């Protein structure tokens, strides 16, 4: 399988190169030249497979320059780091509504689904491409990617990783998770501004020939662990297949019956993976894109205009506090007939005018699959509370946004009998104060008190990795402005 840029041109690379390089040379994102198909027979054959087996089978369809048997071993190793026998269990909470729990990995957010595997994909990718340089990974994070990437790459040979997060834009728990990170090859820096400032500054470094030259002099090649990297996207395609197969193998649906997914969305990576699964032949009917108050995607899906000229809100679902959703570029590319020039001009327009519009035909094409909805802060609280009271299930604030959107859908479509899978992206203990407040009405100042009381209220198991944070020393406390980020990078890797 070859990969091409969403912004046209004739760069055409194998999977290994796409992953090592992160971004296409013209600033576009790598996309597969065509969507590989999964046949009905193959779906059948996957029914009895483990998650790791399903993963290697799906991923190999894109990354056929890797070794399939070795890929399986890597998947087994990655998903053995998850708590419990199944890394992506499906929980039924009501007739027709299921929750796909993607937060059982080492850092308690769905980012682990890809970032436990990415180090292998990158290391092997370097081998395949014959790359001798050391790799420097730069990450811009709205909270969860940073920690998952640090945990995935800590002490990896030949790799250094540096994470930038918005100083006031992540939860206390997320900050503590990152600032106490262990490992000899890691660095964490807070940036003044919000996630979009952070992400654009990292993108600027990526697109700068000068920065690349400076790093090359020091023996480093830049790579990315953000969801612009295809190596992040492809492991995420797997759990949509796996959830579907679990519904079939447990007798909830017949093979071939379409289902819906509702996905809490920020950078559009998670839901885009669901779209890829559909394009590969998974029986998916609709994809519901759920936002918080930063509802730019809801507006885009209903109006066909992507307009970033709006207020930015800090919410209780910080990993979705994003106005510039990078992965939307991959969807745009598909719905405009894979026109790289057009996609490129829209991305330019977004940069200069802060807004772009798509055609009614493109909007109609998107609407064939996607709906958008959002939840305000009160609605998140009420939804988490209602579901807890009605079913005993506790969900985090991000998942709460998605659940609200799913419930709204059934309110509006009372006769709809299609099964809905709501994707749960974080362990509730990652946002203990907000979830405690939603479930009990109690407001506590301290995160660890929040954990204790949330446990008392729900009896849900507390992940050791979160409870243990209290006693870990803080290793990183640097704060810089966005224009000083590259200086920090150079300081980190040294002369």
Ligand X SMILES: *Cc1c(COP(=O)(O)O)cnc(C)c1O
Q: Regarding beta strands 305-307 and 355-357, do their DSSP bridges make them parallel or antiparallel, or are they unpaired?
A: antiparallel
Stretch that binds ligand X, among 54-62, 259-267, 379-387, 469-477 (CB under 6 A): 259-267
CB of 179 to ligand X, least distance (A): 17
CA distance 318 to 72: 34
**Which residues, including other chains, have CB under 8 Å from residue 62's CB and lie 6 or more apart?**
1, 15, 32, 36, 230, 234
Q: In Å, how far from its chain's centre is CA 412?
A: 28
Q: Is 264 in the site for ligand X (CB under 6 A)?
A: yes
How many Cβ atoms are within 10 Å of 89's Cβ, its own excluded? 18
Answer for which of 32, 269, 372, 450 binds ligand X (CB under 6 A) is 269
Q: Is 98 in the site for ligand X (CB under 6 A)?
A: no
CA distance 245 to 283: 10
Stretch that binds ligand X, among 12-20, 53-61, 164-172, 262-270 (CB under 6 A): 262-270
Answer for which of 66, 261, 268, 300 binds ligand X (CB under 6 A) is 268
Q: Looking at residue 100, what DSSP letter applies?
A: E
How many Cβ atoms are within 10 Å of 314's Cβ, its own excluded? 15
Q: Is 270 in the site for ligand X (CB under 6 A)?
A: yes
Answer for which of 171, 187, 267, 294 binds ligand X (CB under 6 A) is 267
CB of 269 to ligand X, least distance (A): 3
Tokens of 484: 């000083």
Rank residues 72 and 366 by Cβ distance to ligand X and give the closer one.
366
CA distances (Å), 223 to each of 156, 227, 324, 390, in order?
A: 14, 12, 20, 46
Rank residues 171 and 185 by Cβ distance to ligand X and give the closer one.
171
Rank residues 161 and 170 by Cβ distance to ligand X and give the closer one.
170
Q: Is 173 in the site for ligand X (CB under 6 A)?
A: no
CA distance 214 to 198: 21
CB of 114 to ligand X, least distance (A): 10
By C-alpha distance, which of 298, 287, 301, 290 is closest to 259? 287
| Angle at 61 (CA atoms; ends 59, 62), nearest 5 degrees | 75
Answer for which of 319, 343, 433, 458 binds ligand X (CB under 6 A) is 319
**Which residues, including other chains, have CB under 8 Å from residue 209's CB and lie 6 or more apart?**
none
Q: Is 398 in the site for ligand X (CB under 6 A)?
A: yes
Q: Is 198 in the site for ligand X (CB under 6 A)?
A: no
Q: Is 426 in the site for ligand X (CB under 6 A)?
A: yes
Q: How many residues line the site for ligand X (CB under 6 A)?
A: 16
Answer for which of 125, 266, 340, 450 binds ligand X (CB under 6 A) is 266
Give the footprint of ligand X on residues 126-145 (CB under 6 A): 144
Binding site for ligand X (CB under 6 A): 109, 111, 144, 227, 264-270, 319-320, 398, 425-426
């Amino acid at each position: 399988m070859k990969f091409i840029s969403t912004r046209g041109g004739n760069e055409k690379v194998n999977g290994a190169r796409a992953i090592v390089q992160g971004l296409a040379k013209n600033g576009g994102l790598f996309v597969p030249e065509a969507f590989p198909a999964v046949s009905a027979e193959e779906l059948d054959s996957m029914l009895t497979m483990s998650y790791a087996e399903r993963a290697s089978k799906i991923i190999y369809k894109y990354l056929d320059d890797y070794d399939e048997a070795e890929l399986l071993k890597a998947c087994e190793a990655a998903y053995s780091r998850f708590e419990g026998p199944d890394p992506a269990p499906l929980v039924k909470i009501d007739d027709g509504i299921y929750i796909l729990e993607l937060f059982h990995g080492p850092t308690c957010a769905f980012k682990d689904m890809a970032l436990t595997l990415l180090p292998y994909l990158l290391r092997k990718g370097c081998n395949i491409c014959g790359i001798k340089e050391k790799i420097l990974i730069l990450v811009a994070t709205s909270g969860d990617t940073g920690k998952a990437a640090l945990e995935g790459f800590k002490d990896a040979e030949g790799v250094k990783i540096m994470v930038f997060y918005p100083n006031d834009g992540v939860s206390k728990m997320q900050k503590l998770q990152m600032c106490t990170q262990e490992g000899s090859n890691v660095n964490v820096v807070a940036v003044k501004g919000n996630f979009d400032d952070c992400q654009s500054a990292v993108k600027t470094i990526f697109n700068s020939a000068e920065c690349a030259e400076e790093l090359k002099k020091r023996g480093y090649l830049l790579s990315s662990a953000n969801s612009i990297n295809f190596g992040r996207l492809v492991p995420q395609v797997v759990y949509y297949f796996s959830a579907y197969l679990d519904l079939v193998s447990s007798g909830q649906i017949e093979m071939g019956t379409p289902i819906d997914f509702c996905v809490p969305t920020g950078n559009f990576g998670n839901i885009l993976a669901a779209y890829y699964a559909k394009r590969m032949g998974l029986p998916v009917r609709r994809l519901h894109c759920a936002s918080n108050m930063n509802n730019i995607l809801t507006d885009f899906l209903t109006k066909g205009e992507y307009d970033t000229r709006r207020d930015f809100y800090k919410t209780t679902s910080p990993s979705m506090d994003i106005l510039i959703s990078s992965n939307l570029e991959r969807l745009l590319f598909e719905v405009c007939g894979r026109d790289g020039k057009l996609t490129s001009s829209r991305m330019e327009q977004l940069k200069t005018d802060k807004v772009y519009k798509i055609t009614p035909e493109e909007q109609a094409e998107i609407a064939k699959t996607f709906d958008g909805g959002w939840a305000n802060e009160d609605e998140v609280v009420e939804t988490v509370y209602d579901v807890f009271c009605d079913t005993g299930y506790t969900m985090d604030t991000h998942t709460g946004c998605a659940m609200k959107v799913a419930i709204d859908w059934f309110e509006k479509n009372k006769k709809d009998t299609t099964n809905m899978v709501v994707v749960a992206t974080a362990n509730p203990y990652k946002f203990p104060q907000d979830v405690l407040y939603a479930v009990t009405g109690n407001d506590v100042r301290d995160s660890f008190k929040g954990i204790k009381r949330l446990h008392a209220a729900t009896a849900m198991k507390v992940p050791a990795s979160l409870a243990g944070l209290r006693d870990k020393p803080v290793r990183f406390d640097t704060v810089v402005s966005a224009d000083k980020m590259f200086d920090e990078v150079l300081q980190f890797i040294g002369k």
